[in-house]
Amino acid sequence: MKFKRKKKRGVHQKTCRTWLSPEGYRITWRREAFGVAVPPRYKACVHTIVPGNFESGHMTVWDFVNQNKRHYRTMGAAVAACEKHQQLWDRVIECTGIRTVCDTLGHWPHGIPEWVSTRLNQRIVAMFMDTQPRRKRKEVGEDEETTEIPETPETPELPELPELPELPEISGISEVSGISEAPIKKRKQRSDKGKPRKPTTTAATTAPIKKKRKQRSDKGKPRKPPTAPSTITLTTSPASPTKKKRKQRSDKGKPRGPRKPKVEYE
């Protein structure tokens, strides 16, 4: 398998390179993705036709050659993976039924390579492109859904049981339920019937009674005059400490000497 280098406009060869083959395979090498540096690796892809809910019923995409291993360290390993993929689908082209195709691939393919679609049996291609899962199950060989109702087996006839003798009637037993009914007792009358009842205790009556406030012993007597503000002593709290008085100068009232010249810094 031969690959030819393809230059892409606007992509520098130091960050990304691409090789294409005439069969529809592509190998790309990159060491940067979306502006982020990544380990340099090779990716092997093939142009694949994937069925789906599109206008034409399918779409062509670049799919990985091996879904289990998508990156390779060397160019030779990527080329070997493409050659292995081509050999596998060469054997698929020789198949005549869907069962043999699935046995060769090991699974139901989700897409067909573009170079295989023209060489494979068109009846198989049409079944692969069909997105109805019911048809796929029938072709693979799974059990079809049956609409017939299965016949129920006939139940064997049971032997007739002997008739039981009639029981004598017993008082206190109901005919329907067969459970003995106890006689209904009358309700005992109250001894204080017709007498006035005591008033019910409410939350207000059950609440504790508040004690009355004690009267002052000097009630009605003239009060003493308030003390002068000078005699009131204020207690200083630790949060507001008292201000210390400023210390007086020892040379207060004496003539001062000449001022020192200011030093200018360059």
**Mean pLDDT across 228-251:** 66
pLDDT of residue 146: 42
Residue 250 pLDDT greater than 90, yes or no? no
- pLDDT tens digit string along 178-191? 555 566 778 888 88
pLDDT of residue 181: 58
The H or E element containing residue 99 is: helix 98-105
Radius of gyration of the chain (CA): 54
**Mean pLDDT across 222-230:** 75
- pLDDT tens digit string along 1-32? 889 988 888 888 899 999 999 989 999 999 99
Question: For 114, which DSSP code?
Answer: H
Those residues with Cβ within 8 angstroms of residue 2's Cβ, 6 or more apart along the chain or in another chain: 21, 22
Tokens coding 161: 């049981």
Tokens coding 102: 């699935």
pLDDT of residue 86: 92
**Mean pLDDT across 50-75:** 88
Tokens coding 121: 């049996």
Rounded CA separation 202/199 (Å):
9
pLDDT of residue 76: 92
pTM: 0.47
- 112-113 vs 58-64, strand pairing mode: unpaired
